[in-house]
Structure 1
């Protein structure tokens, strides 16, 4: 077989079918569960409306510059999260490997949440919501149900009681054991939901950007329909205004607390999906002249705007819940799984037509999480395929490799759906996917691109691709503000480290903390480790090796305009020489 025939068998890398597909894919990736169950909680916990001050500071100095930076290098190099660094700055290729490892950890944990949400959705079709009463086999004598008992009795005697929604979550869904040492058996109903979610994700992206670009038309837009419905319903409930005021009431004194600023920074990194290569891969499927500068500004506005609107939807319902129970809002406001699987389900159980609102809420959660999950999978797939294009882009290879990736994640995460699985899940979430790891990667990313590759060169690339002069403020951020703010946040996160606990009472054994730190450093050490490996195995003196590894690939050393100008001058010179 000739080389020409062989090359025909290698599939094209592909592009988005339209600009809308790119915008929806990025929106679906960055707008996720964190907008609904993390931002509103952080806002009320850290000073209400005053929290928006540090939040906006991090948006301007870190979120927007990093968002634009990663999208730009993806669109410019047309490469995934690992091979883009080979073209721009080979010395720090470890950033790409570290980002993919964090995404691998995230793929295992994030889909567990979707499985829980799917199980709740199935139960939402019951004639009576199972978390709305204490008449089930999993309930204890201490169970209380706000819909049937006296409110004053519940509030004054709550020390030895538990809510029906809490018992459903802990005793029915999780069947949680007493500690990580007691793993127990697999929860088979969650296992079934997990299989359904993996099959869904597989077929969403099995054809690459061709299938992903079509699926996001539904998964990225329909959650907004559900969010608007829940927002309107929430604002019409009694007590909703109290919840909204509690959510936004400013506490300026909290601005002096460093932890408030850390929470704002961590929220920006997670919600903007920076540091792990996701935006790089999504941008790499754009055409070279796409106006990514304008796209990034609008997408960042959409992301932050969704967070604020979700806060109104969530806290209007929590205000209603506090009104009905006769308790302070602070007692019902939670973050993370506690909000999604205890507080909110308990609130909808107290509304008229509870099944309808429960279905709306969990459909929204599933769709918000689904596109974030399959985009993360697509990013890992693209990054690995771009490393071995001639092998992996053969017909049928991608589908087989994706199936292998799904199976590896599935079998690795089985321990998380056991009776002790919640403890393992929290370890992965707290250590393997935490903000410190991403902070570290973002610091190296901005230093490598701002100082080694060159902020001025990046500025020229944006001008070359979009025809627009980006605001010079971005250059200042890439050089100074972003790396300094991120480095300060990284150091503070290590200084103020608090060991992981569960429900404020369970302390993990020492070996679990050691394992947690191993997961943390498994990604962080890839950056200096790869640099040392390349410096140690190269040829020439140390200075020559370092200089070579800091140089971009020849095709990335000039913009298209510069290449065209150079080519034009060369042709003119040759013509003049020949005529002479």
Structure 2
């Protein structure tokens, strides 16, 4: 158990899953302190939680350490059970079950029935799954609702309110999830899990987040913004993570996945038909195309030449709602002269020169 096997990393699917798991816990938070190790710059969930708060690098490192430590400990728990089942069946551990829903809903419940006081352990196991699912949904739904509320900060005719958006979001998710509790629901769940919630969609989002922050907005300007929020300038290596390292990792894993692409399978036996994969790619493109489509729509709605439109859309503008993130301890000496902060006891005034 303690001897690592690095051969699964030769599989593009395994690389995708490892990247997705780590990105789930240590994510790119665009309006707060950023922890940007190569494995931790994706997904919108932590953005929603951190929006409007001031975190420190200490908290970010603690979060990453807890995330990785939990994964390491969970590996001992899971593989001890799988090893026991493999020993009982006289087969290799890779033949017991495939990772994913087959492991959670087939292999592990079967192992629980072999333990003393099986009903108690089974009840605890499924209660754990219920609590885990609810906890994950709280953050996921909150991320979506936060994005909607940012688009409509003020109620429109009393309709666009947080309670209404939350109710509609939960209702739509409930209707879609009904298909996953049917007789073939596990196949639908696998399709959603593989294409719409992990893998290529996360890599796509992580890559463009880094490109926009580091190359469009500007890595140095972003470092200044973080200094305003937390009171000191981050280490220079983080700028190179945003600018070079993380984009290269995303592109490398993406190309590796394309070259070694294999049809989706369930539990090492069922191969999805072509129309099933078409539905899966439709789910993936539904979120991936939002980024380029938004860019095209913004460019078409702006006025002037293409260069003028691009310059207008990519010019950062600080409003009064950003002043709440300024800290009295901000080390303004470390900031360039064209973006100075004047702090007083009554208020904070930001002078930003538009380039």
TM-score category, normalised to shorter length: 0.7 to 0.9
Give the aligned partner of residue 259 of structure 2: 495
Residue 384 (str. 1) matches residue 148 (str. 2): yes
Gaps of 5+ in 2: 28-40, 327-331, 333-338, 346-355
Give the aligned partner of residue 64 of structure 2: 300
Q: In structure 2, do the counterparts of structure 1 residues 534 and 317 end up closer, same or farther at CA, with 3 Å as the change threshold?
A: same
Alignment check: 8 A CA contact 2:179 2:185 kept: yes
Structure with a larger share of its residues in helix: 1
Q: Distance in 1 between matches of 2:200 and 2:69?
A: 25
Question: Highest Rg: 1 or 2?
Answer: 1
Q: Distance in 1 between matches of 2:279 and 2:78?
A: 35
Q: CA deviation at 1:267?
A: 3.2
Q: CA deviation at 1:269?
A: 3.0
Residue 257 (str. 1) matches residue 10 (str. 2): yes
Q: Secondary structure at the match of 2:154?
A: helix
Q: In structure 2, do the counterparts of structure 1 residues 343 and 419 end up closer, same or farther at CA, with 3 Å as the change threshold?
A: closer
How many equivalent pairs are there? Answer: 318
Q: In structure 2, do the counterparts of structure 1 residues 566 and 267 end up closer, same or farther at CA, with 3 Å as the change threshold?
A: closer
Q: CA deviation at 1:533?
A: 1.4
Q: Distance in 2 between matches of 1:500 and 1:384?
A: 33
Q: Distance in 2 between matches of 1:335 and 1:501?
A: 11
Q: Distance in 2 between matches of 1:463 and 1:393?
A: 39
Give the aligned partner of residue 565 of structure 1: 342
Q: In structure 2, do the counterparts of structure 1 residues 488 and 417 end up closer, same or farther at CA, with 3 Å as the change threshold?
A: same
Matches within 5 A, 1:526-537: 526-537=290-301
Matches within 5 A, 1:44-193: none
Give the aligned partner of residue 195 of structure 2: 431
Higher relative contact order (CA 8 A, sep 6+): 1
Matches within 5 A, 1:241-256: 245=1, 248-251=2-5, 254=7
Alignment check: 8 A CA contact 1:385 1:392 kept: no
Per the normalisation by structure 1, the TM-score is 0.50
Alignment check: 8 A CA contact 1:499 1:513 kept: yes
Gaps of 5+ in 1: 1-244, 569-580
Alignment check: 8 A CA contact 1:432 1:516 kept: yes
Give the aligned partner of residue 23 of structure 2: 269
Q: Distance in 1 between matches of 2:101 and 2:59?
A: 32
Q: In structure 2, do the counterparts of structure 1 residues 467 and 334 end up closer, same or farther at CA, with 3 Å as the change threshold?
A: same
Q: Secondary structure at the match of 1:413?
A: helix
Of 124, 127, 132, 1:360 maps to: 124
Give the aligned partner of residue 133 of structure 2: 369
Q: Secondary structure at the match of 1:389?
A: coil
Q: Secondary structure at the match of 1:565?
A: strand
Q: In structure 2, do the counterparts of structure 1 residues 317 and 417 end up closer, same or farther at CA, with 3 Å as the change threshold?
A: closer
Q: In structure 2, do the counterparts of structure 1 residues 256 and 428 end up closer, same or farther at CA, with 3 Å as the change threshold?
A: closer
RMSD of aligned residue pairs (Cα, Å): 2.9
Q: Distance in 2 between matches of 1:327 and 1:256?
A: 23
Q: In structure 2, do the counterparts of structure 1 residues 416 and 349 end up closer, same or farther at CA, with 3 Å as the change threshold?
A: closer
Alignment check: 8 A CA contact 2:25 2:63 kept: no
Q: Distance in 1 between matches of 2:270 and 2:144?
A: 34
Give the aligned partner of residue 279 of structure 1: 46
Alignment check: 8 A CA contact 2:152 2:160 kept: no
Give the aligned partner of residue 552 of structure 1: 316
Q: CA deviation at 1:441?
A: 1.2
Q: CA deviation at 1:397?
A: 3.4
Residue 350 (str. 1) matches residue 117 (str. 2): no
Q: Distance in 2 between matches of 1:384 and 1:312?
A: 40
Q: In structure 2, do the counterparts of structure 1 residues 427 and 459 end up closer, same or farther at CA, with 3 Å as the change threshold?
A: same
Cα deviation digits, residues 82-117 of structure 1 (max 9, x gap) = xxxxxxxxxxxxxxxxxxxxxxxxxxxxxxxxxxxx
Cα deviation digits, residues 116-145 of structure 1 (max 9, x gap) = xxxxxxxxxxxxxxxxxxxxxxxxxxxxxx
